[in-house]
Amino acid sequence: MTFVDDCRREWKRLRVPDAVANEMAAELTADLEEAALEGASPEDVLGYAVFDARAFAAQWAEERGVVGPEPAPRRRLVPLAFVIALGLFLVITVSGVALLVDGGHFASARVAVGTNFPAPRIRKLLVPPPSRPFARGERQRVFILPGARRVQLTALPPPPATAGLVFLGVGLGGIVVTLATWLVLGARRRVIV
Amino acid sequence: MPGILHRMATTERRSSQLLRGVLDLCLLAVVADEPAYGYEMTKRLRSRGLSIVGEGSIYPLLGRLERDGLVDTYRAASDGGPPRKYYRLSESGRRALASGVSEWASARDAIDAVLGLHATEVAA
């Protein structure tokens, strides 16, 4: 990769029009070749700029006023996606912790409605925590409704701890992976800029 | 030894700053009589005692002079080599050169007056 090649790459990055970039490259190449034939070094032609092709090319293009328009600013979709993913994994983590700490409050209950038990119709429903959650160890609660109808809530056993562990693992893992990806992409973007 | 190196660095930095302020005028001056391409201008400067090694490169400056319309450019064959991009003074470049030379002379005289007085005091 020669000095002129490095300049070309920088001009391409700066969206310098091809015709102008070709002209500058040809001018530079011809001067460097003539200097080499006379036994002069590239430094004799370029001064200290010879040590930093990128800065030299950028300065030349800028002084000539041929730097292309800045690329449109990156839309904020990527950061937004990371925030959403982090939020999602955080919810999963919290759910996992909640399941591990007190799964009973989130347990399902078997609901039976009828006048005589065993009830004729038994449905399994997922119920939200009632106004008063099942206490630890409480297995059954009976309500008497008008018309002598009875509602019997029977707490189902809390979900096994493995569910909580799985939620916790997925949530924490997701948070770590999301943050790492975010940091790596951000660092790469800073390097490119 | 460190004192000598420090003085050399200071001298080089001052020369560099002085030249940076008038390098555009120098470029206009070396193409005032006869057009030249980039490397040729570097050689003309060097033949008159100015080295641009410490100044980076003349190309960005030439780019600015071209953009500002102080020089015109054209392509022409060089001696046996590929076509070169030549720079020549434009009319506005000629006016800018005259004005710049006048400014430089005023500044030089003022500085000479100050530094010359100091030199006299030191000698006395």
Domain boundaries, chain A: 3-64, 79-107+159-193, 108-158
- In chain B, the percentage of residues whose pLDDT exceeds 70 is 81
For residue A42, which residues of chain B lie inside 8 Å, CB to CB? Answer: none
pLDDT along chain B (124 residues), means of 10: 67 77 93 93 90 76 95 87 91 97 94 79 62
Strand ranges (DSSP E) for chain B? 71-77, 83-89
User: Distance between CA atoms of B43 and B52, rounded to whole angstroms?
Assistant: 10
- In chain A, the percentage of residues whose pLDDT exceeds 90 is 32
- At B16-34, the pLDDT tens digits run 788 888 999 999 999 998 9
Q: Chain A 55-114, CB below 8 Å of chain B: which residues?
A: 56, 59-65
Residue A182 amino acid letter? W
User: Distance between CA atoms of A130 and A169, rounded to whole angstroms?
Assistant: 29
- At A66-121, the pLDDT tens digits run 987 776 666 666 678 888 888 999 998 888 888 777 654 545 666 666 655 555 45
User: Distance between CA atoms of B36 and B77, rounded to whole angstroms?
Assistant: 12
Does pLDDT of A128 surpass 50? no
* Complex ipTM over 0.85: no
Q: Tokens at residue B82, please?
A: 């590929």
Direct distance between the N- and C-terminal alpha carbons of chain B, in angstroms, rounded to an integer: 29
User: Distance between CA atoms of A142 and A163, rounded to whole angstroms?
Assistant: 29
For residue B37, which residues of chain A lie inside 8 Å, CB to CB? Answer: 27, 30-31
Arithmetic mean of pLDDT over chain A: 78
Q: Tokens at residue B59, please?
A: 């190309």
pLDDT at A160: 62
Candidate from A28, A43, A64 with C-beta closest to B53:
A43
